[in-house]
Structure 1
Amino acid sequence: MDGTVYEFERLPMATQRPVPAAARRAGGGPSGALVGVIRNPRSHRNKGHAPEMAERPDVITRTPRTREELARDLVEMAGMGIAMLAVDGGDGTVRDVLTCGASCFGENWPRMIVLPKGKTNALAVDLGLPNHWSLAEALDAARRGPGVDRRPVVVNGAGVNGGSLVGFFLGAGIFTTATNEGQVAHRYGAFNSFAVGLTAVSGILQGLFGTGSRGWRGITPIKLFLDEEAREVRRSQYGPPETRYAILVSTLNDFPLGIKPFGKQPDGLKYLLVDYPLRRVIALAPALLAGWEGALLGRLGVHRGHAQEAIFDVGDKFILDGEAFPAGRYRLTLGPKLNFVAP
């Protein structure tokens, strides 16, 4: 529903068996390599528009309405031997395709195309895609260049939250509040970078001048343990020791409005942790989001770094690519290397 963030009670479970590589036939048609298209008809810029190039025999378009249908469509496409897989939607659609496709493609994904039709398209920004990137333009670009490689974040749960997710941008704490505020901006017609800008300005002002310990000044039980040693990210003296103000984790390099929340971290699971909503920290938010890396930040409870794997423990819901998932303890790892078509 517009104006809200959909909340899941648990992580999705794999419902399909992998398609062995030997069972995937080489797909092709009169115009060349076979292209599978997963189209989300509910995405912002897809409403009221017909699928692109659906009449071509080498373009197989599916519009699943449920995750079960999506999983079946992806198994079908894997068995057909598609050479390219186009995701026609926003960041949430990309997350659903990667999550449902993990069990059938494994480490051997087809070449990926993103058609940025959602309200938020952070992955498209990182890939350098134009706002209006058509399937025809993407196929032309696929013939011209090798594309770019990206690895998503894999989120694995345990117990009642068993299952897994695959996406690109995870956040909790104040990021959950920011995501809800962004949905309000969407309702009033602000999307993509404009919505990010409005939400950031609103958050800084409310964090600076607000009172109490909720909303834009709320804190959340959050812990982050890095790599095989499971060493916890250090914490400053500010705020209750079991809580943090914000956490962001991603593998992306570039973000809307040119913000650089992780500074100059190398590839891997990049993270940003903020311990407590000190007004000095909130006042520094513009410089922090621009990538500033002063020594003062650590003393104020702002921590950046990277890892190959991590344990993420959160006492409230977290956000992955625009939708909310339940509190719990999760293992974060790097997903398979995916090759994306880019201009």
Structure 2
Amino acid sequence: MLPGACRADPARPGRPQGLDPVVAVEMTRIAVIRNPKSHGNRMNPPGPTPEGVRLAEPFGRDALRTVLEDFAREGLDLLVIDGGDGTVRDVISLLPHTFGEDLPLLAVLPSGKTNVLAIDLGAQREWRLEEALNAARQAEPRIKERPPLRISWTDGHRPCLQGFFFGVGALVKATNLSQKVHKVGFFHNLAVGVTIATATFGALFGGARDEWREGVPARLTLDGQAQPGEERFAVVATALKRLPFGLKPFGAPREGLKILDVDAPPRKLLKALPLVLSGKAEPKLESMGYRRRDAQNVALAGCAPFVLDGEVFEGGELVITLGPALRFLVG
């Protein structure tokens, strides 16, 4: 298997056919991956871990993989991820290589700064480990499925990533800005709002070559069809249905891999932005350089860096698809 592949590790066989899903039986094998440096855990340190629940606080990808391999070897019914979007991204990126196809049920405790996935799942900000364990004990636990985005480099020299919110161009700049926003005390939806407002102000009133308006090299191909243009203000992708503040840049909530593709420099932004963010199906957006698309396979070339769930990564020749749906326990 190529190093960049994200297929299930053949050493981890899937659940034999004919067995009931794990949610049909009592969940007794439970583990927690906790990021002690996440905003919520630093502000409100968790209490003692309940007896019988395994806790790990690995530092770094190699340590995390070792922990997940141990959990997979011993067997796991429920894996609780106690951290922000970045912690979720790191865990789910390693699941195919550690658990193979026999994935445990997941639960996300919104302990990060923005918690976009938790918002989409409808998790309350106060949802902690005790509430998650109580939810798991229900006779019919509530489960939601979400397929992650799968980001692969075509050279195969880097392991693929899995996450839920991808962007190049303006999204990378906004992410770098958000780190400063967090340092002055804005978190959760407020941090998202301040970042969007500041980025919008720069894009509205900067010149054509202003840092907020200029494009990045990004050649886009959707399901084998090359899209016009070699520079873009932004390309954004997700498989989520709900975003903070009810924003709907991809249009009406729906299943699948959704794309927002914006020309550089953005045209008539003051007029287009409310239409884009509200999700309105306005045909004139296309002529203004704002395109919403659905795709199964996305290719992106140009080497511009990209952001995935709040962290910036080195760009390159990328392929974006949907991974198998993950099951999340919700309250």
TM over 0.5: yes
Shift of 1:114: 0.1
Matched residue, 1:20: 13
Shift of 1:265: 5.9
Matched residue, 1:5: none
| 1:268-322 Cα deviation digits (max 9, x unpaired) | 2110000123341344213311112201000011111111222122331000111
Structure 1 residue 172 and structure 2 residue 176: aligned?
no
Matched residue, 1:43: 38
Query: Conserved in 2, the CA contact under 8 Å of 1:11 and 1:325?
Result: no
Question: Counterparts in 2 of 1:1-343, with a 5 A limit?
Answer: 18-21=11-14, 33-47=28-42, 50-57=45-52, 59-142=53-136, 143=138, 144-159=140-155, 161-227=157-223, 230-233=224-227, 235=228, 241-264=229-252, 266-343=254-331
Distance across 1 between alignment mates of 2:175 and 2:42: 22
Distance across 2 between alignment mates of 1:276 and 1:214: 11
Query: Conserved in 1, the CA contact under 8 Å of 2:27 and 2:77?
Result: no
| 1:193-213 Cα deviation digits (max 9, x unpaired) | 101111111122211111251
Structure 1 residues 268, 314: CA separation in 2 closer, same or farther (over 3 Å shift)? farther
Structure 1 residues 325, 17: CA separation in 2 closer, same or farther (over 3 Å shift)? farther
Secondary structure, aligned partner of 1:249: strand
Ranges in structure 2 where 5+ consecutive residues have no aligned partner: 17-21
Query: Conserved in 2, the CA contact under 8 Å of 1:223 and 1:314?
Result: yes
Structure 1 residues 49, 264: CA separation in 2 closer, same or farther (over 3 Å shift)? closer
Distance across 1 between alignment mates of 2:248 and 2:157: 31
Query: Conserved in 2, the CA contact under 8 Å of 1:222 and 1:242?
Result: yes
Secondary structure, aligned partner of 2:12: coil
Higher alpha-carbon deviation: 48-57 or 64-73? 48-57
Q: Could you tell me which amino acid in structure 2 is paired with residue 20 of structure 1?
A: P
Higher alpha-carbon deviation: 123-132 or 209-218? 209-218
Structure 1 residues 68, 12: CA separation in 2 closer, same or farther (over 3 Å shift)? farther
| 1:41-93 Cα deviation digits (max 9, x unpaired) | 11111126554552411x11000011111001001111111100111000000
| 1:22-49 Cα deviation digits (max 9, x unpaired) | 79xxx9xxx9511111001111111265
Secondary structure, aligned partner of 2:330: coil
Shift of 1:17: 7.0
Distance across 2 between alignment mates of 1:38 and 1:94: 9
Distance across 2 between alignment mates of 1:164 and 1:18: 18
Secondary structure, aligned partner of 2:221: strand
| 1:138-178 Cα deviation digits (max 9, x unpaired) | 12223253311110011111327532001111000111111
Q: Could you tell me which amino acid in structure 1 is paired with residue 143 of structure 2?
A: G
Q: Could you tell me which amino acid in structure 2 is paired with residue 219 of structure 1?
A: G
Query: Conserved in 2, the CA contact under 8 Å of 1:204 and 1:283?
Result: no
Query: Conserved in 2, the CA contact under 8 Å of 1:225 and 1:232?
Result: yes
Structure 1 residues 295, 22: CA separation in 2 closer, same or farther (over 3 Å shift)? closer
Percent identity of paired positions between Structure 1 and Structure 2 = 37
Query: Conserved in 2, the CA contact under 8 Å of 1:208 and 1:279?
Result: no
| 1:80-124 Cα deviation digits (max 9, x unpaired) | 111001110000000000112221222321111000101120000
Ranges in structure 1 where 5+ consecutive residues have no aligned partner: 1-9, 236-240
Secondary structure, aligned partner of 1:163: coil
Query: Conserved in 2, the CA contact under 8 Å of 1:207 and 1:282?
Result: no
Distance across 1 between alignment mates of 2:270 and 2:155: 37
Distance across 1 between alignment mates of 2:40 and 2:5: 26
Q: Could you tell me which amino acid in structure 2 is paired with residue 156 of structure 1?
A: S
Distance across 1 between alignment mates of 2:300 and 2:269: 23
Q: Could you tell me which amino acid in structure 1 is paired with residue 276 of structure 2?
A: L
Q: Could you tell me which amino acid in structure 2 is paired with residue 268 of structure 1?
A: G
Distance across 1 between alignment mates of 2:127 and 2:168: 31
Q: Could you tell me which amino acid in structure 1 is paired with residue 58 of structure 2?
A: P
Q: Could you tell me which amino acid in structure 1 is paired with residue 197 of structure 2?
A: V
Secondary structure, aligned partner of 1:120: coil
